[in-house]
A and B are shown apart, each in its own frame.
Chain A
Amino acid sequence: VVLWVEMSSFVLTGNATVDGRPLWRDADGGWTHDVRGAVLFTSEDARARALEQAHREQAVVCDPYFAAAERVDGEVRPATLKERIRATGPTVSHPT
């Protein structure tokens, strides 16, 4: 049951229109660049309402979608490697 609850929680995310940086919906209904400040959605109704609202904010965010996430040691953590890399940046360094 615990596993089912964890796999049923999601963050609402997209990329910022102005610069493409990842954004996550925060608890105040705004957007944050820090996944740790993201709000977790667990009900389908809340998800549907949030996605509808996000689609009305296209000047701010592109292609919003839900990504599976969970709370680990009090912090929101995306469930997949792709979303974790998206949240923390490339795992390789740039040439300087």
Chain B
Amino acid sequence: VYRYDEYDARLVHERVEQFRDQVQRRLAGEITEDEFKPLRLQNGLYMQLHAYMLRVAIPYGLLSSTQLRMLAHIARIYDRGYGHFSTRQNIQYNWPRLVDVPDLLADLAKVEMHAIQTSGNCIRNVTSDHLAGVARDEIEDPRAYCEIIRQWSTFHPEFGFLPRKFKIAVTGAPADRAAVRFHDIGIRIVKNAAGERGFEIWVGGGLGRTPRIGQVCGEHVPHRHLLSYLEAILRVYNRFGRRDNKFKARIKILVGALGIDEFRRQVEEEWLQIRDGVIALTDDEVTRVASFFSAPPYRALPEQDARLAGKKLSPDRAFARWIDANVALHKRPGYAIVFVSLKPHGRPPGDISADQMDAVAELADRFSFGEIRSTHDQNLVLADVEIGDLEAVWKRLHELGLAQPNIGRATDMISCPGLDYCSLANARSIPVAQRIAQRLDDDDRLARIGTVSIKISGCINACGHHHIGNLGILGIDKDGEEHYQLTLGGAPGDDAAIGKIVGPAFSSADIVDAVANALDLYLEQRLSPTERFLEFYRRVGDKPFKERLYA
């Protein structure tokens, strides 16, 4: 985990004290809500239906156990005993009182955390592959570059008032687990034909009311020019992005209007002027930052892939199912990656109690070098667990209600907070997720269905990423009643696709049947168990689904 230097610490401390003063002035009536709103948003504080909501940044999803314990403390002292992990690897608290927020932020600062860059029209908290540093397919650990981008973007004087919010994701592996094609800028570490590493820079991706798959702007940007290339993109966007229309203000609209070739030409014209300036990265600086993410002191263990595979046949079926669904191969012999499911059936996706946070921190200390990752799928990861410790970890997670064997499966749903909390929503999301999970509450059936994603948004802003769910659900208001559009075929990764609406929206009562019927159709007609839902859909198209769902 990156550790603050004196500049980081001072910046965050000063920001807390500034905000404390601003809150006092707001409570005293010295400043209006219109004057206060941009100030609170710059500190991650929103107003939702029932209360303020504070979004705390978890840079690239990486947490120490000390930080997770502080998040638990904050849930207990300042909120209602729980937190909600978001689709951008952050955590949200739904019930903080304004009067308490300065003390809350001061507590966060004690563990080198804050709520900066989690709101407003700035460069938001950078996200990454939740398997960074432990994935077998990785070309290079992306976290050093994530941290360099974080330092460059935090309080960047040019980019504090962009036309609209701006999201960056970085991955160092060929398999895209960070949805880089759906970010304003997506960065992939790649090798060229000569074997040299560089950055493939995607621009103009995004979800919301105008979903777009990004396009490649820079094919192989050298390491030393990463920041200057990003700065050139931001400058073109900052100059020409639409400030006159909030709904056309994201970079995807500018890229679409100019065309990728003209956009690239403008970026590279700007880049030529700044590429060798003060933000050129030196090897020493990259090495210095990378040292914070060096491998933990692994034990020398024999390769045990077969032993891990054997655990899937354990006579304890609950343990075997968990190994099969929630444990992944690690690059280091004798170690495994454990997913902590925050999707127990019937519970709000992404929610976790303070006691559960403390317990996961304890597990991380005992079994995973004191580190935890959050995923954009709203789960947690213990990235470095010895294979011999898996049963002990499972038993504890099982006691905690965090061992639902469903990672990557139908009930591992992404859901936005929806109309239960969000002032923008048109329909509820969480209750739909809960009813689907209850309907599919059969671990063996879930295993038969296999890899499939269901993503639910309560409005067109698409915080639940419904466009890129294999099955996507969008809540709409139809004559005052909640209805749900179903889309099929979306995918976030290397086979990126935006889902297609299958037909007329379903009532709240009928949407669960529609999902179950779509999965039944797949089970009945797939070529074999190795044909995944998405592959099946791409092979057969909409027609059989329309016939089944609207019969």
Give chain A's interface residues, CB within 8 Å of chain B: 15, 17-22, 58-59, 62-63, 80-82, 85-86, 89-92, 94-96
B46 (CB) vs chain A CBs: closest residue: A20
In the bound complex, residues from chain A placing their C-beta under 8 Å from that of B434 are 92
Contacts between chains A and B (CB distance < 8 A), count = 81
Complex Cα gap A85–B419 (Å): 8
In the bound complex, residues from chain A placing their C-beta under 8 Å from that of B82 are 94-96
| 15 A-B pairs with C-beta separation under 8 A | A17-B33, A17-B98, A18-B99, A19-B52, A20-B47, A20-B52, A59-B26, A59-B28, A81-B477, A82-B49, A91-B420, A94-B80, A94-B81, A94-B353, A95-B81
Mostly, the B contact residues are mixed
Mostly, the A contact residues are loop
Q: B425 in the interface, Cβ–Cβ < 8 Å?
A: yes
Per-residue 0/1 for B41-52: is the Cβ within 8 Å of any A Cβ (1 yes, 0 no)?
000000111111
**Of A17, A19, A80, A85, which is within 8 A of B420 by CB?**
A85
B98 touches A82 (CB 8 A): no
In the bound complex, residues from chain B placing their C-beta under 8 Å from that of A80 are 480
- B45 nearest CB across to chain A (Å): 9
Count B interface residues, CB 8 Å: 37
Stretch from B211-219, B296-304, B344-352, B374-382 forming part of the interface with A: B344-352
Complex Cα gap A92–B347 (Å): 8
In the bound complex, residues from chain B placing their C-beta under 8 Å from that of A92 are 348, 420, 430-431, 434
**Of B33, B49, B353, which is within 8 A of A85 by CB?**
B49
In the bound complex, residues from chain B placing their C-beta under 8 Å from that of A96 are 81-82, 353
Q: B2 in the interface, Cβ–Cβ < 8 Å?
A: no
Q: B282 in the interface, Cβ–Cβ < 8 Å?
A: no
> Are A63 and B50 also in contact (CB < 8 A) when A20-B97, A94-B351 are?
no
Q: B27 in the interface, Cβ–Cβ < 8 Å?
A: yes
- B376 nearest CB across to chain A (Å): 20
A95 touches B351 (CB 8 A): yes
In the bound complex, residues from chain B placing their C-beta under 8 Å from that of A59 are 26-29
Complex Cα gap A87–B47 (Å): 15
Q: B428 in the interface, Cβ–Cβ < 8 Å?
A: yes
Q: B356 in the interface, Cβ–Cβ < 8 Å?
A: yes
> Are A62 and B420 also in contact (CB < 8 A) when A19-B51, A94-B81, A95-B348 are?
no
Q: Which 7 A-B pairs have the closest CB atoms?
A: A59-B29, A20-B51, A19-B97, A90-B420, A20-B52, A95-B353, A62-B33
- A61 nearest CB across to chain B (Å): 9
A21 touches B51 (CB 8 A): yes
Complex Cα gap A80–B33 (Å): 25
Complex Cα gap A84–B378 (Å): 28
> Are A91 and B428 also in contact (CB < 8 A) when A59-B28, A81-B419, A81-B482 are?
yes
Q: B537 in the interface, Cβ–Cβ < 8 Å?
A: no
Q: B530 in the interface, Cβ–Cβ < 8 Å?
A: no
In the bound complex, residues from chain B placing their C-beta under 8 Å from that of A91 are 420, 428, 431
**Of B49, B347, B352, which is within 8 A of A86 by CB?**
B49
B50 touches A90 (CB 8 A): yes
> Are A58 and B32 also in contact (CB < 8 A) when A20-B47, A22-B49, A85-B49 are?
yes
A60 (CB) vs chain B CBs: closest residue: B29
B98 touches A18 (CB 8 A): yes
A90 touches B421 (CB 8 A): yes
In the bound complex, residues from chain B placing their C-beta under 8 Å from that of A86 are 49-50
In the bound complex, residues from chain A placing their C-beta under 8 Å from that of B98 are 17-20
Complex Cα gap A22–B81 (Å): 21
Complex Cα gap A63–B348 (Å): 29
A20 touches B480 (CB 8 A): no
Complex Cα gap A63–B356 (Å): 36
In B336-375, which residues have CB < 8 Å from any A CB? Answer: 347-348, 351-353, 356
Complex Cα gap A89–B50 (Å): 7
In the bound complex, residues from chain B placing their C-beta under 8 Å from that of A95 are 81-82, 347-348, 351-353, 356
- B507 nearest CB across to chain A (Å): 14
Complex Cα gap A19–B434 (Å): 29
A17 touches B27 (CB 8 A): yes
**Of A18, A62, A85, which is within 8 A of B97 by CB?**
A18
Residue of A94, A95, A96 most packed against chain B (CB within 10 A): A95
B29 touches A58 (CB 8 A): yes
Per-residue 0/1 for B68-102: is the Cβ within 8 Å of any A Cβ (1 yes, 0 no)?
00000000000011100000000000000111000
A21 (CB) vs chain B CBs: closest residue: B51
> Are A18 and B27 also in contact (CB < 8 A) when A80-B480, A81-B482, A92-B348 are?
yes
Complex Cα gap A95–B82 (Å): 6
> Are A15 and B356 also in contact (CB < 8 A) when A58-B29, A95-B347 are?
no
Per-residue 0/1 for B425-439: is the Cβ within 8 Å of any A Cβ (1 yes, 0 no)?
110101100100000
